[in-house]
Structure 1
């Protein structure tokens, strides 16, 4: 099947940390040459869309613009705006996360409140501290709605599999005995947000990624076809054990005919 829209993961699919995946650039070049629409659907909340696009372009020579980047930060901000019946500016939030998440959330106009926020949002934070966990836990215990950006327990980079946002969120889940409302992959929320924001037909799209538990499950949950590439997290042994297989599987992206 020829797809009209490609939704493409980053870590483990386009690159591994600072290390290039040469086949990824060829894959994107082929999409461009054929005029096929593509977006990068990442679980990275630490960077803004412009920073993500700059990294792809400058460090990996992969053509990308800010409006081609879809992050859980953007999807979370949209979710927060829709949470309330009145103006979001009348409400407050506490956020554990990097600039990419905070800029998107507070860009909605919602106010910062560390004591009695309406919502607590937790994502990957490279400088997370006990104090931040404490503030988030107490706020959720007081009744704040608990959002987790994405459930990634690990991220593949040039050093190996390092802790992801899910590892941070799970600590807050443990301390509050509450499950977060997740927005990013594998939840369909981020796919639904992408389809609405970018105006593409999910039935004519394919989700491309290296991680069955995030990328591929996101496609499955949203009834979008999937393409698993074995350059990152998931292995052949992993896929043998799952009931619902990816729609397509390739060893590397140069094996895929766009």
Structure 2
């Protein structure tokens, strides 16, 4: 499939390069073609449970050699967005629900400190060790005026043959309890795309979002005005797109797409 020339490829991971523990060989070959052609790329994941180095290590296990400079997560976009929203402010109290990827990214930055009494922000990411106490504290902080941020709005996560509750489900529970809707950062929101383009010094016209999920990856392109390439190697099939706005490109596998 012929396409126009793009400067930066924003590549999804789960469902595009791998599927859980399974390698998607066509996705791996696509990344290697990008590397061999000297094309700039950024792995753009909604997963907040891993640090960038953990993502690099997982990719290595699937045959992809890369580094942390090519990883971008909602954790990173969240930190940048908060700082951008508050010009001149040097310090932010945060209450965090999440796992090591979110905790490490936020609290490794000097602008943020943990505060469960009166934080400026409540940041909620996927947490498989979620407790009622964590929800209780987050709810109290939001009700007392903290800004509510959800790292992504995924209601479900594929796990083998089942779907697990995702971060969007956790945020929905907090939204119901607190009466406040969160600002979501990850795909399909434009925020994470804007931040990725800012990081790579690229324009919307120079970028292509590559992914398997219509709800997250493709809608992120629609919401941000960036072209999209959908690979039918993950959650969606061609029939799922009937009657819907179409991606810029659709392929059965990424082997079909010419750079």
TM-score normalised by the chain length of structure 1: 0.94
Cα distance change on mapping 1:24 and 1:160 into 2, 3 Å: farther
The answer for the alignment partner of 1:55 in structure 2 is 58
The answer for the alignment partner of 1:70 in structure 2 is 72
**Any idea what SS the aligned residue of 1:88 has?**
coil
Instruction: Give ranges in structure 1 of 5+ residues lacking alignment.
Output: none
TM-score normalised by the chain length of structure 2: 0.94
Q: Offset at 1:85?
A: 4.2
> 8 Å contact 1:16–1:156 — kept in the other structure?
no
Q: Offset at 1:111?
A: 1.7
Cα distance change on mapping 1:36 and 1:157 into 2, 3 Å: farther
**Any idea what SS the aligned residue of 1:234 has?**
coil
Cα RMSD, aligned residues only: 1.4
The answer for the alignment partner of 2:97 in structure 1 is 96
Q: Offset at 1:112?
A: 1.1
Instruction: Give ranges in structure 2 of 5+ residues lacking alignment.
Output: none
Cα distance change on mapping 1:195 and 1:49 into 2, 3 Å: same
Could you tell me how far apart the structure 2 residues matched to 1:86 and 1:6 are?
33
Matched pairs, number: 255
The answer for the alignment partner of 1:107 in structure 2 is 108
The answer for the alignment partner of 1:132 in structure 2 is 134
Q: Offset at 1:123?
A: 0.7
Could you tell me how far apart the structure 2 residues matched to 1:189 and 1:10 are?
19
Q: Offset at 1:79?
A: 1.4
Could you tell me how far apart the structure 2 residues matched to 1:220 and 1:127 are?
34
Counterpart pick for 2:205 among 193, 196, 203:
203
